[in-house]
């Protein structure tokens, strides 16, 4: 660094330093050449400061300043001066001063960057990902990573003060059945065998409870080889924790404290309300197990009202065990045919075969289904739906699953379109009382809704014999603004009950022994009651930052095809590497 030693960050120079000599380092944001004087905005992580180069100070230095271009890395000595009258820049934290360069060194030249280093996004995401290191020079991206850091620090401070220990668990671990597809890692030493990257540290954290660690946490990477979304990456970060000797309510209030600490530490109001809703109620009222509580527009069941109607689409669906539900789009009676057709297409994505509508207008009802319904039935429907003049009532008749998915998502779409959502608001809700099992039609067996280590509710234990699909679990999800940010459960700590659950999942004795024998064995040596939860750090930071995608809070995220545009991973490997790993690749490798 040409023997210089940095004395200040660019963004930190203030009027107090007027008259002092400072040594600054950073990147050239912009150069303004006025012939006789050159201004350079110098940028580092902490801000911008205006540097003035004058030939009167040093002719050779001025010549060097002439060669400066965007993103050159420079070091300089300069005198801090107050700006002349009327020259103060209100938009800059350092706007009251400028620094007069006395010595200038170019530490590294720079090619013209392919994307602009500006606060506003001026490039497509493909460019931003390919040149991620440049995208990360932009202040909004730096702010996102700073926010992420603050959240992690708040988590560590809070959990540390509550006697939690941060303990690492293996990244190379064992493939498990159930759940998401594993990322596999071949073992060279044990040819033909594979490690799996963890989908979560679930089994290890339970073993740590058997070890008597009592309170464990870890901010750790998890891997799932499934298709990506705006809020799903193949590797993502969990705030994972587990405690012994706490019941569900105690765990929930413990983590509510953590959430409060996080919010306060990043400058938001402390959230106070963490209401509870059961899974069933969430599905009934919102058509989702992660309801967005920032607005109303709940789903209303009209099955009883229409079950005997002449309109076969409604009555027939009810007769077959389906349901008819609707939502009331307040004030939307002026929607055009085209609008409604679009909404019909939209619910089609979720399997709905149609979307019935009723417009409630001053002079009566307008509806494509009015002719199939009696006046009394129509009146009944409108009053059940709370319909008033100006409202648009929208209905789906189908299986409960399709009704929930289509109306639940329609509710969200309408709310966004009608701007019913206060974007500055944070609304939490705990979803509890999840079913323990779900019937898998493809595999013709029960699968765990949460995971196989989840404790059934005490009062449902006897239902395990014969009525397994009715058993509720001691599982809980924390939902924020319609996004699941955390989920956990009280775990089974009894090897006999655990074996019974495995059996209900139709797992064979030898499979249980091979996959989970070590866990069942561990539970025979005194396992404390325990439970825990894992938060999706990326999603949480995304929400706190008011962002649309977790890619914006991950330094080097993957594309939707699960590739890295920067490193071009994944890639083919040498034949020699494959041979060492006892692997053969069964696809044509295209010539470069």
Footprint of RNA (CB under 7 A): 30, 32-37, 39, 41, 50, 52, 54-56, 69-70, 83-84, 87-89, 91-92, 95, 98, 112, 114-116, 122-127, 129, 176, 178-181, 199-200, 202, 224, 226-230, 232, 349-350, 405, 409, 447-452, 549, 551, 559-561, 563, 565
| Least distance to RNA, CB of residue 49, Å | 9
Looking at the Cβ atoms of 181 and 307, the one nearer to RNA is 181
| Least distance to RNA, CB of residue 302, Å | 24
Tell me how far apart the alpha carbons of residues 419 and 332 are, in angstroms, rounded to a whole number.
13
DSSP 367-404: ETTGGGS-HHHHHHHHHHTT--TT-EEEEEEE-HHHHH
Phi, psi of 23 (to 5 degrees): -115, 120
Tell me how far apart the alpha carbons of residues 295 and 293 are, in angstroms, rounded to a whole number.
5
CA dihedral 127, 129, 134, 135 (to 10 degrees): 90
What's the angle, vertex CA 176, arms to CA 172 and CA 177, rounded to 5?
Answer: 160
| Least distance to RNA, CB of residue 348, Å | 9
CA dihedral 394, 398, 400, 404 (to 10 degrees): -40
Looking at the Cβ atoms of 315 and 493, the one nearer to RNA is 493
Looking at the Cβ atoms of 149 and 508, the one nearer to RNA is 508
Contact predicate 144/545, CB 8 Å: yes
Residue 239's closest CA among 265, 213, 264, 218?
218
Looking at the Cβ atoms of 161 and 560, the one nearer to RNA is 560
Tell me how far apart the alpha carbons of residues 503 and 512 are, in angstroms, rounded to a whole number.
9
Looking at the Cβ atoms of 72 and 426, the one nearer to RNA is 72
| Least distance to RNA, CB of residue 120, Å | 9
Looking at the Cβ atoms of 68 and 159, the one nearer to RNA is 68
Looking at the Cβ atoms of 56 and 362, the one nearer to RNA is 56
Report the first-to-last Cα separation within the chain, whole angstroms: 41
Looking at the Cβ atoms of 49 and 305, the one nearer to RNA is 49
Contact predicate 500/464, CB 8 Å: yes
| Least distance to RNA, CB of residue 361, Å | 32
| Least distance to RNA, CB of residue 147, Å | 19
| Least distance to RNA, CB of residue 410, Å | 12
| Least distance to RNA, CB of residue 204, Å | 11
Tell me how far apart the alpha carbons of residues 431 and 448 are, in angstroms, rounded to a whole number.
17
| Least distance to RNA, CB of residue 225, Å | 9
Contacts of 98 (CB under 8 A, 6+ apart): 49, 50, 51, 52, 80, 81, 83
> Is 380 buried (19+), middle (13-18) or exposed (0-12) by CB count in 10 A?
middle
The CA radius of gyration of the chain, in Å to the nearest whole number, is: 30
Looking at the Cβ atoms of 293 and 550, the one nearer to RNA is 550
């Amino acid at each position: 660094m040409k023997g210089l030693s940095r004395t200040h960050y660019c963004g930190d120079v203030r009027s107090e330093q007027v008259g002092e000599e400072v040594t600054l380092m950073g990147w050239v944001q912009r150069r303004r050449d006025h012939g006789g004087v050159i201004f350079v905005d110098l940028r580092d992580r902490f801000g911008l400061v205006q540097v003035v180069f004058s030939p009167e100070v040093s002719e050779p230095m001025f010549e060097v300043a002439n060669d400066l271009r965007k993103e050159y890395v420079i070091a300089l000595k300069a005198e801090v001066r107050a700006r002349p009258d009327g020259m103060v820049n209100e938009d800059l934290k350092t706007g009251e001063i400028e620094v007069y360069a006395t010595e200038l060194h170019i530490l590294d030249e720079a090619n013209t960057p392919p994307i602009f280093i500006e606060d506003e996004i001026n490039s497509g995401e493909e460019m931003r990902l390919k040149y991620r290191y440049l995208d990360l020079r932009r202040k909004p991206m730096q702010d996102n990573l700073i926010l992420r850091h603050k959240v992690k620090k708040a988590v560590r401070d809070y959990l540390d003060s509550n006697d939690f220990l941060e303990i690492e668990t293996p990244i190379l671990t064992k493939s498990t059945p159930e759940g998401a597809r594993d990322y596999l890692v071949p073992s060279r030493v044990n040819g033909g065998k594979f490690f799996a990257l963890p989908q979560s540290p679930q089994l290890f954290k339970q073993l740590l409870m058997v070890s008597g660690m009592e309170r464990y946490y870890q901010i750790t990477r998890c891997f799932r080889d499934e298709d990506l979304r705006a809020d799903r990456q193949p590797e993502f970060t969990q705030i994972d924790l587990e405690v012994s000797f706490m019941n569900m309510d105690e765990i929930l209030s413990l983590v509510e404290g953590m959430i409060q600490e996080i919010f306060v530490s990043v400058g938001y109001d402390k959230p106070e309300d963490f209401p509870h809703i059961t899974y069933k109620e969430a599905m009934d009222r919102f058509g989702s197990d992660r309801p967005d509580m920032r607005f109303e527009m709940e789903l209303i069941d009209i099955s009883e009202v229409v079950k005997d109607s002449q309109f076969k689409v409604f009555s027939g669906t009810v007769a077959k065990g389906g349901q008819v539900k609707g939502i009331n789009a307040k004030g939307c009676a002026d929607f055009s045919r085209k609008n409604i057709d679009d909404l019909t297409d939209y619910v089609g994505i979720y399997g709905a075969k149609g979307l019935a509508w009723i417009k409630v207008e001053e002079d009566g009802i307008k509806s494509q289904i009015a002719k199939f319904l009696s006046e009394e039935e129509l009146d009944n429907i409108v009053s059940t739906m709370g319909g008033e003049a100006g409202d648009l009532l929208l209905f789906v008749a189908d299986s409960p699953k399709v009704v929930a998915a289509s109306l639940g998502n329609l509710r969200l779409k309408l709310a966004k379109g009608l701007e019913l959502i206060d974007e500055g608001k944070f609304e939490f809700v705990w979803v509890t009382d999840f079913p323990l099992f779900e019937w898998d039609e493809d595999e013709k067996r029960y699968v765990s809704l949460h995971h196989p280590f989840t404790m059934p509710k005490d009062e449902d234990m006897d239902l395990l014999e014969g009525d397994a699909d009715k058993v509720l679990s001691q599982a809980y999800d924390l939902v924020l603004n319609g996004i699941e940010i955390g989920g956990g459960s009280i775990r089974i700590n009894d090897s006999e009950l655990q074996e019974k659950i495995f059996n209900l999942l139709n797992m064979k004795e030898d499979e249980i022994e091979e996959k989970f024998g070590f866990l069942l064995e561990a539970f025979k040596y005194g396992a404390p009651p325990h439970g825990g939860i894992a938060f999706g750090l990326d999603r949480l930071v995304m929400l706190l930052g008011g962002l649309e995608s977790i890619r914006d809070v991950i330094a080097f995220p993957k594309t939707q095809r699960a590739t890295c545009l920067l490193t071009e991973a994944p890639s083919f490997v040498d034949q020699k590497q494959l041979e060492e790993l006892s692997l053969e690749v069964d696809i044509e490798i295209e010539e470069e």
